[in-house]
């Protein structure tokens, strides 16, 4: 009788453990399921009000402005429908550059500028050597990333 | 040339730790599986030998 | 055909057949993995964006693919065992779990290592990463649940149920990058149209995938034979081995 009781406790603990872990992750999942909002979504008012959220899009070509002597940088993020200005101070990932996908974490200030405290680079699923990339650029022109 | 290869364009730490970790896990998995098999086979053989004597 | 299936479901037949196949699959795994490693680290050109850092793909993607394949196999085996009450099916499911958990761990770990320089973070709670982490917890949960029972039959049924219920996570993981805005990018190989990766970068990836597959088969057969030794330890045919 005691053995059955012990086993019952063990099973219950395992299931509870798995259940709690999954529940926690589903909560994180739920908050982040829409991992970022695009500029169009933000302008349309779909992003959470007064809360931090993530803004995702492409860095507009030629828009990166760095303040000399500091880690302050500003750039434009676009989804080719709407464009927002982002201000950030800190280290940027290796892949951050013109035309690159980015995901910035922060909030809109009252001047309509997105102030970020974290900027991640997002890359696409394409892999190719530099020569191929160069050849593609010549074919498609400079407007695409 | 070898140093370029090991350097992995500046990503050495990331690339080599990934490959090293993968090799380690795959080898440990294989070793663990074989050890478990040998243990259980030994147990069955013991049992069979004991039975033969009765 | 039915005879073949029936034979396959018989532990002594499986035990013998697997014993013959293991060295072949093991040898193939070794060759394929070595060739793929050389191809991926030496022969493949560096990526235009990620440089030599992209080479992590050669261990990350095969691990992730195997983690999904392993879980699906575990769920199918467990389901087969539950529906048709074939003990060998449960043995296979039990044998898959630790291997699947290992591949899931590798997918998460190598992915994290890759993410740090490229994305700028070790971890993100986006749909792809979160659901893959849930997969690891499902594997671990299956193994823990199994260990909680002394009786093999009850262990089979309880853990089998978890395996089958959890399989819904597999399509979620695969389609997460399509269904939701994520940090993780979309599919490179499995997509309609040409793969988004050049040939000289692709072949080591496919070779490594084949190598991991043969490795998986090898270790699975070893572990399933172990399961058979344990489950059938009182039976006649085993004593006569």
**A71, A12: one domain:** no
* Residue A145 located in a structural domain: no
* Residue C7 located in a structural domain: no
- pTM (two decimals): 0.89
**A123, A57: one domain:** yes
* Residue A22 located in a structural domain: yes
* Residue A49 located in a structural domain: yes
Q: Which of B8, B29, B54 to mutate to test the interface with C (most CBs of C within 10 A)?
A: B29
* Residue range C55-96, pLDDT digits in tens: 999 999 999 999 999 999 999 999 999 999 999 999 999 999
**A29, A49: one domain:** no
The two tokens of residue C215 are 């490795």
**A19, A47: one domain:** no
**A17, A56: one domain:** no
ipTM exceeding 0.85, yes/no = yes
Provide the mean pLDDT of chain B: 92
Residues of chain C with C-beta less than 8 angstroms from the C-beta of B9: 46, 51-53
Confidence of residue B48 (pLDDT cuts 50, 70, 90): confident
Return d(Cα C212, Cα C83) in angstroms, integer.
Answer: 30
Q: What is the domain-level CATH number for residue C190?
A: 1.20.120
CA A127 distance to own-chain centroid: 21
| pLDDT at residue A145 is higher than 50 | no
Task: Tell me the C-alpha to C-alpha distance, in Å, between residue B2 and each of B7, C67, C200.
Answer: 8, 34, 21
**Nearest C-alpha of chain C: how many angstroms from B1?**
11
Dihedral angle sign, alpha carbons of residues C152, C154, C157, C158: negative
* Residue range A81-120, pLDDT digits in tens: 999 999 999 999 989 999 999 999 999 998 999 999 999 9
Paired with A37 in beta bridges are A55
* Residue A91 located in a structural domain: yes
**A67, A14: one domain:** no
**A51, A82: one domain:** yes
Please tell me the number of Cα atoms within 13 Å of A124 on its side-chain side: 14
Q: What is the domain-level CATH number for residue A62?
A: 2.40.50.140
pLDDT for A29 equals: 66
What backbone phi and psi angles, to 5 degrees, belong to C111?
A: -65, -40
Q: Which of C48, C134, C149 sits opposite A25 (nearest CB)?
A: C134
**A62, A122: one domain:** yes
Q: Look at chain C and report how many structural domains it folds into.
A: 1
Q: By residue range, what is the domain housing residue C101?
A: 15-239
DSSP A72-133: EEEEEEE-SS-EEEEEEES---TT--TT-EEEEEEEE-TTS-EEEEEEEEE--S-B--HHHH
* Residue C189 located in a structural domain: yes
Q: Which of C42, C53, C224 to mutate to test the interface with B (most CBs of B within 10 A)?
A: C53
Q: Where are the alpha helices (DSSP H) in chain C?
A: 2-8, 11-38, 57-84, 87-118, 127-147, 152-166, 169-179, 199-231, 236-239
* Residue C3 located in a structural domain: no
* Residue A69 located in a structural domain: yes
Instruction: Report yes or no: A120 at the C interface, CB cutoff 8 Å.
Output: yes
**A115, A80: one domain:** yes
**A76, A95: one domain:** yes
Mean pLDDT per 10-residue segment, chain C (241 residues): 63 94 98 98 94 96 98 96 93 98 98 95 91 94 92 94 92 88 85 80 96 98 97 87 72
Q: By residue range, what is the domain housing residue A17?
A: 1-33
* Residue C10 located in a structural domain: no
Torsion, Cα of C13, C19, C24, C26 (10° steps): 130
Segment B39-47 shows an average pLDDT of 92
pLDDT for C224 equals: 97
pLDDT for C241 equals: 72
User: Who has greater pLDDT, A139 or C149?
Assistant: C149
| pLDDT at residue A143 is higher than 70 | no
Q: Look at chain A and report how many structural domains it folds into.
A: 2
Confidence of residue A136 (pLDDT cuts 50, 70, 90): confident
Confidence of residue A30 (pLDDT cuts 50, 70, 90): low
């Amino acid at each position: 009788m005691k053995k059955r009781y012990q086993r019952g406790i063990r099973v219950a603990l395992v299931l509870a453990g798995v259940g709690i872990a999954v529940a926690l992750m589903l909560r994180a999942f739920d908050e982040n399921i829409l991992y970022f909002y695009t500029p169009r979504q933000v302008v349309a008012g779909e992003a959470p009000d007064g809360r931090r959220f993530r803004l995702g899009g492409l860095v507009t070509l030629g828009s990166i402005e760095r303040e000399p002597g500091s880690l302050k940088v500003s750039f434009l993020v676009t989804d080719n429908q709407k464009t927002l200005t982002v201000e950030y101070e800190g280290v940027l990932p290796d892949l951050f550059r013109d035309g690159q996908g980015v995901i910035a974490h922060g909030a809109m200030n009252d001047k309509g500028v997105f102030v970020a405290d974290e900027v991640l680079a997002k890359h696409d699923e394409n892999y190719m050597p530099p020569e191929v990339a160069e050849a593609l650029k010549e074919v498609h022109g400079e407007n695409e990333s | 040339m070898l140093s370029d290869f090991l350097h992995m364009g500046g990503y050495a730490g990331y690339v080599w730790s990934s490959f090293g970790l993968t090799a380690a896990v795959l080898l440990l998995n294989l070793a663990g599986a074989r050890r478990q098999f040998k243990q259980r086979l030994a147990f069955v053989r013991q049992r069979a030998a004991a039975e033969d004597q009765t | 055909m039915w005879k073949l299936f029936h034979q396959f479901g018989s532990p002594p037949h499986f035990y013998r057949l697997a014993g013959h196949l293991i060295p072949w699959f093991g040898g193939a795994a070794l060759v394929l993995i070595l060739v793929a490693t050389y191809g991926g680290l030496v022969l493949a050109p560096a990526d235009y964006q990620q440089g030599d850092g992209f080479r992590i793909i050669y261990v990350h993607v095969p691990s992730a693919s195997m983690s999904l394949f392993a879980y699906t196999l575990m769920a199918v085996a467990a389901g087969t065992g539950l529906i048709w009450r074939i003990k060998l099916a449960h043995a296979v499911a039990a044998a898959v779990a630790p291997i699947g958990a290992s591949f899931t761990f590798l997918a998460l770990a190598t992915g994290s290592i890759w993410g740090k320089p490229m994305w700028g973070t070790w971890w993100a709670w986006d749909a792809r990463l979160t659901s893959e982490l849930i997969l690891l917890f499902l594997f671990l949960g299956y193994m823990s649940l199994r260990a909680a029972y002394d009786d093999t039959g009850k262990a089979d049924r309880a853990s089998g149920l978890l395996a089958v219920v959890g399989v819904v996570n597999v399509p979620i993981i695969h389609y997460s990058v399509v269904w939701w805005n994520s940090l993780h990018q979309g599919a490179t190989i499995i997509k309609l149209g040409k793969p988004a990766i050049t040939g000289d970068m692709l072949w080591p990836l496919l070779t490594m995938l084949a190598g991991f597959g043969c490795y998986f088969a090898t270790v699975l057969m070893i572990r399933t034979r172990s399961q058979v030794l344990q489950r059938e330890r009182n039976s006649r045919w085993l004593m006569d081995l």
